[in-house]
């Protein structure tokens, strides 16, 4: 919770100015008039401003509430929700969970679905785009480090054998990590093949990449007209 005090000539004026200052609607905050003030003698002498204390719910508090409600409905036990913000991205880590595998799901699909749901809920309430990453016991970070290690090993191998190597299907976020790693290698290039969930990255020597890009497309012969005109008897 964030407490903010503002002063002004009247209650309506203070509230209106506060909403404009923080780009808020009435449902986004609570307020309490701590001093109604006075206009003073003939509105000239001894006037006192109206004082109002505003309460704004922090995004961290809302995220914690949303996650607790969802996990309670799923009958999932946990002890701690850790939230950190970095580069305008909220990293949420559910800790001390009794069954990590259950919450992650196969290929992290359940975890991804929960992340999407929480993202939709908080963005709808806040009416602005907030990016968040939901994790359980650091699963995503461990998986990321394993992917980086594997990609680096493949980069070394491609340099050595001078042949292309195709990785297993990866998510969009995982493909971005691999692309960025290869971008630092001047003699290598990447190419994405496949569709949807089956998209793969090909790591290849620069020369082979040029050959693939500049390879002329095979000419297609025009279809012959096989229609035969009937001859009248």
197-212 pLDDT per residue, tens: 789 999 999 887 666 6
Instruction: pLDDT band for 18, please (50, 70, 90 cuts).
Output: confident
- Cα(228)–Cα(43) distance, integer angstroms: 102
Average pLDDT, the chain: 81
Question: CA-CA distance, 108 to 101, in Å (whole number)?
Answer: 9
* Pick from 118-122, 185-189, 225-229: least confident: 225-229
- pLDDT over 90 at 88, yes or no: no
What predicted TM-score, i.e. pTM, was given to this entire model?
Answer: 0.60
Q: Which tens digit of pLDDT belongs to each residue from 126-165?
A: 666 778 899 988 888 899 999 999 999 999 999 999 999 9
> Residue 122: helix, strand or coil by DSSP?
helix
- The string of pLDDT tens digits covering residues 30-79 is 888 888 876 654 455 557 888 988 887 778 888 888 888 888 888 877 77
- 109-118 pLDDT, tens digit per residue, is 888 888 888 8
- Encode 44-73: b = buried (16+ Cβ within 10 Å), e = exposed: eeeeebbbbebebeebeebbeebbeeebee
The pair of three-digit structure tokens given for residue 24, joined into one six-digit string: 């808020």
- Helix (H/G/I), strand (E/B), else coil: 222: coil
User: In which band, very low, low, confident or very high, does the pLDDT at 227 lie, cut at 50, 70 and 90?
Assistant: very low
pLDDT tier at 231, thresholds 50, 70, 90: very low
Classify residue 31 by burial, with Cβ atoms within 10 Å: 0-12, 13-18, 19+.
middle
Residues in the chain: 233
């Amino acid at each position: 919770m964030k407490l903010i005090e503002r002063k002004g000539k009247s209650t309506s004026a203070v509230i209106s100015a506060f909403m404009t200052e923080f780009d808020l609607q009435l449902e986004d905050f609570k307020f309490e008039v701590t001093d109604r003030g006075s206009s003073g003698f003939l509105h000239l002498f001894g006037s006192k401003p109206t004082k109002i204390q505003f309460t704004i719910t922090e995004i961290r508090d809302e995220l914690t509430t949303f996650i607790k409600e969802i996990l309670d409905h799923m009958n999932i036990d946990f002890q701690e929700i850790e939230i950190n913000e970095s580069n305008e991205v909220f990293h949420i880590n559910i800790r001390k969970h009794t069954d990590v595998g259950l919450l992650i799901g196969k290929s992290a699909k359940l975890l991804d679905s929960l992340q999407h749901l929480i993202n939709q809920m908080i963005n709808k309430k806040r009416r602005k785009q907030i990016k968040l990453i939901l994790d359980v016991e650091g699963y995503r970070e461990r998986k990321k480090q394993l992917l980086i290690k594997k990609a680096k090993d493949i980069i070394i191998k491609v340099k050595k054998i001078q042949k292309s190597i195709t990785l297993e299907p990866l998510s969009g976020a995982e493909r971005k990590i691999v692309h960025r790693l290869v971008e630092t290698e001047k003699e290598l290039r990447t190419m994405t093949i496949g569709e949807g969930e089956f998209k793969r990255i090909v790591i290849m020597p620069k020369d082979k990449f040029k050959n693939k890009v500049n390879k002329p497309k095979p000419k297609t012969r025009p279809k012959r007209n096989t229609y035969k005109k009937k001859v009248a008897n």
